[in-house]
Structure 1
Amino acid sequence: MHGTITTEVQAPTLADSKVQRLSFFVFSLFFIFGSITSLNDVLIPKLKHLFSLSYAEAMLVQSSFFLAYFIVSIPAGLLIARIGYLRAATVGLLTMAAGSLLFIPATQVGMFVAFLGALFVLASGVTIVQVVANPLVLLLGCSSTAHSRVTFAHAFNSLGTTVAPYLGAILILGTLNDVDPSVLPASALTAFLAQEAKVISNTYAGIALALFVVAVMVWQQRKQLPANTRPERSNPLAALSLLKRPRFSLGAACLFFYVGAEVAIGSVLTNFLMQTSTFGFDPETAGKHVAFYWGVD
C-alpha cells in the first residue's frame, strides 16, 4: 500500500512561505490517499454481504483497486512531465472524485461489476496523486533532509489508514447492526439491500465533494512551483534496467509480497473478527478494530 513510483527531480530553492503553504497540501495528499485505500477494508464486508460473495469474489475489490497502480503509474509519470506536479495532482484528485461519484450509478444498477469499475477509476486517481506526492516532498527543502520529509509525510499516510476504517465502519457498516436479513421476507429483503447499497453511495458522494474542494485548493497553488521543477521527459521503460541490479530487484520483490500480505490481511480482518469462533463482533465493531491493525502496521 505504501509503495509508490517517483520521478527524478532536482529540488529548487523555494521561499519559506511557499514551502509552508505547499507542505500543508502535500501532507494532506498523503493523508487522503491513505484514507481512501484503507476504506476498502470496510467496503469489502459490506459488498460481500450485499451480493452474497465468496471470499475469492470479494477480494476482486482489491484486485480492481490495485490493478490501477500497475496500469496507471507510468502514464501518471508522463502526465507529470507534461503538465507539472500540482496540475497533475489536481487531475488525480478530480479522477478520485469521479470514481467516488460512480458509486451512485453502481448502486442504482445493483451490479457488483459496476462497483469494481468505480473502484478502478477511484484508484487511478489515487495512483496519480501518489506518483506526484513523493517527488513533490523532495522539492520542499534541501536534499540533505529529504529522507526526513518523506518519512514525516508517510506518517500522514499511516494516519489516514488508521482513521478511515474507524469512520468507515460507522458510516458503512453501522446499519448492518439493526436488521438481520436472514429473517426478512423477499420483498423486505430487496428494499433492505437497496437501502444498504445507498449507504455506500452516500458515503462516497461525501468523499467526492471533499476531494473536489481539495482539488480546487491545489489548483490555486499550481503556480507556486518554478517552471524548472517539471521532470524531464524520458522513456519510462528505461527504468526496467534497474531490475538488473540484484539489490533493487530483490527489494522490489520484498515490497510486492509485503504489501500483498498487508492488504490481504486488512481486507478479510473485519469478517474474521465477526466470526463466532473468533470474537463474534458485530460488523461496526469489527470494522473499527481494523483501525488498530493499520495503526500498528
Structure 2
Amino acid sequence: MHFVAGPISSNRSATAAPAAGPANYTSALSLLASLFFVWGFITVINNTLLPHLRSVFELNYTQTTLIESVWFIAYFIASIPSARLIERIGYKKSMVVGLCIMAVGALGMILAAQLPSYYVTLVALFTIACGITLLQVAANPYVAVVGPQQTSSARLNLVQAFNSLGTMFAPLFGGYLILGRSTGGTAGTDQVLTQAERLADAQAVQLPYLIVAVVLVLLAVVITRYPLPALTRSRVAKADRGAHSLWRHRNLVFGIPAMFIYLIAEIGVANLFINFVSQPHIGNLTHEGASHYLFLLWGGMMVGRFVGSILMRSISAEKVLGGCAIGACIVMLVATFTTGPTAMWALVTVGLFHSVMFPTIFTLGIRGLGPLTEEGAGLLVMAIAGGALVVVQGWLADMYGLQMSFLLTAACELYVLFYAVWGAKPTNAFPDEPAQG
C-alpha cells in the first residue's frame, strides 16, 4: 500500500531548511504540544457529552457508543485524504485547515443542539474528528522522527503528556458547562425527564462549543503567523519501491492491530466511565459528580506519560509497555468483579497504565522502517479507527450488563502485552540514521 503520512523525513532523519536549527525545533515542538493539548481536550469532552446525549435523546448503550464510533470512523476515512492534503499544501497550512475544519464541526454542534437532532450531532462530531485526524497524521510521526530513534518513545510520551493535560481538564469543563447546567446531569440515575426538560438540556452544549470554536479559530490565526521550520524529505525512488515491503517488518505488522485494539480499550473505558461509576452499586453519583472522577482518570494518563518519558530513558520501551499492560489487565478484572469504591477506583487507576500505550506502540511500530517510515506511520494513524469498535462494548453492556462488558477491555490489554513481549521486535530493520537539526 503506497500511503504517505505527511511531509516528514521518510528515513530516520528529519532535516530542516538551512535556517532552522535546534532552537527552531524546540519552538516547533512547543507549538505542537499546544495542538496535542487542544485535540485531547476536545476529544474528551465527548466523555461528558455522551451521558448527556443519552439522557436528551433517550439512547441505549449501543446508540450512545455509536456516537463515539462515528468519531473514530473519521480516522479511517480521513487519514489518506489528510496525507494527500499535507503533500499538496504543506505541513503548516494543513494544521490551519485542520483547526478550521474542527471549528466548523463545533459550530455544527450548536446547530444540532438548537434543533435538537441526534443525526446532526453525528455529522458535527464526524467533522470535528476529521479535523483532528489531519493534525494527528502529521504531528505524531513528526515528533517521532525529529530526534534520535532511541529516545523517540520518550519524546512522543512527553508531548503526548500535554494531550493528557487537555484530557484531564476537559471533564471539568464539560461537567460544569454541560452536565452541571442540565437537569439530566444533576438528577439521580433513576429520575425520568420530561420532554420539556430534555429539550432544555439539549441547549446546554451551545455555550461550550461556541467557546471551543472561538479557541480553534484563534489558534489557527496564531499558527498562520508562526515561523514554523520547513521539513525536507528523502524518499525511496519509485523504481526501487517494489523491493521494499512494509509487511516484512514484524513490529509494524503486529503494531497496527495493537494500536487498533488498544483504542478499543481506552475509548471503551473513557466513554462508559460516567455511566459506570454513577450506578448505585458502584459510586452512586450524579453524572456531574462522576465527571470529577473522570478528571482523575485522565490525570493519571498525564502523570503516567511524564513518568514514562523519564523511565524510557533508562528502561526499554518494550518493558515499560509490558508492565503497563499487565497492570491494566489486573485493574480491569478488579473493576469487573468487585463493587463499590473498589471497582470505581480500579477503573480510575487504569488511566495510569494506559498512559504510555498509544505513543509507545506508535514509536515501536515505526522503528527500523527507514525510508518506509511515512507509510508505516500513516497506517498506524488509520488504526486509531479501532476506537469505532467501542460500539461492540456498548452492545455487550446492553446484552450482559455494563460491568461485565469490561472483560473486553481486559482482553485488549492481553494483546498489548503480547506485542510488548514479542510483536514489537523489529525484523528487516533499516540502519538508523541520526536526526539533523
TM norm structure 2: 0.59
Distance 2:261 2:6 in 1: 20
1:166 match: 172
Pair 1:234–1:209, CA change in 2 (3 A): farther
1:266 pairs with one of 246, 270, 295: 270
2:205 pairs with one of 188, 200, 203: 200
Distance 2:267 2:6 in 1: 21
Pair 1:58–1:234, CA change in 2 (3 A): farther
Moved more, 8-17 or 34-43: 8-17
Residues 47, 58 of structure 1: 8 Å contact kept: yes
**How far has the Cα of 1:24 moved from its partner?**
2.3
Pair 1:244–1:233, CA change in 2 (3 A): closer
**How far has the Cα of 1:209 moved from its partner?**
0.3
Residues 262-282 of structure 1, C-alpha deviations (whole Å, 9 max, x = no match): 101111110111111211101
Amino acid at match of 2:279: Q
Moved more, 112-121 or 7-16: 7-16
**How far has the Cα of 1:28 moved from its partner?**
0.4
Distance 2:253 2:119 in 1: 34
Residues 42, 270 of structure 1: 8 Å contact kept: yes
**How far has the Cα of 1:259 moved from its partner?**
1.2
1:110 match: 116
1:53 pairs with one of 36, 52, 59: 59
Distance 2:149 2:265 in 1: 33
Residues 40, 167 of structure 2: 8 Å contact kept: yes
**How far has the Cα of 1:40 moved from its partner?**
0.9
Residues 77-122 of structure 1, C-alpha deviations (whole Å, 9 max, x = no match): 1111111111111111111111001011111221101101100000
Distance 2:92 2:42 in 1: 20
1:290 pairs with one of 288, 291, 294: 294
Determine helix, strand or coil for the equivalent of 1:156.
helix
Pair 1:63–1:16, CA change in 2 (3 A): same
Larger Rg: 2
Distance 2:78 2:233 in 1: 19
2:35 match: 29
Determine helix, strand or coil for the equivalent of 1:39.
helix
Residues 166, 288 of structure 1: 8 Å contact kept: yes
2:69 aligned with 1:42: no
2:255 aligned with 1:251: yes
Pairs aligned (count)? 284
Distance 1:216 1:104 in 2: 22
Gaps of 5+ in 1: none
Residues 114-140 of structure 1, C-alpha deviations (whole Å, 9 max, x = no match): 101100000000100111212333576
Residues 55, 198 of structure 2: 8 Å contact kept: no
Distance 2:234 2:83 in 1: 9
2:421 match: none
2:225 match: 220
TM norm structure 1: 0.85
**How far has the Cα of 1:256 moved from its partner?**
1.3
1:279 match: 283
2:381 match: none
Moved more, 283-292 or 131-140: 131-140
2:408 match: none
**How far has the Cα of 1:245 moved from its partner?**
4.0
1:12 pairs with one of 15, 28, 46: 15
- 1:78-117 aligned within 5 A: 78-117=84-123
Residues 14, 233 of structure 2: 8 Å contact kept: no
Gaps of 5+ in 2: 301-350, 352-437
Amino acid at match of 1:115: T
**How far has the Cα of 1:142 moved from its partner?**
6.1
Amino acid at match of 1:133: A
**How far has the Cα of 1:231 moved from its partner?**
7.8
Residues 165, 288 of structure 1: 8 Å contact kept: yes
Pair 1:42–1:137, CA change in 2 (3 A): same
Query: What is the identity percentage for the equivalent residue pairs of Structure 1 and Structure 2?
Result: 33
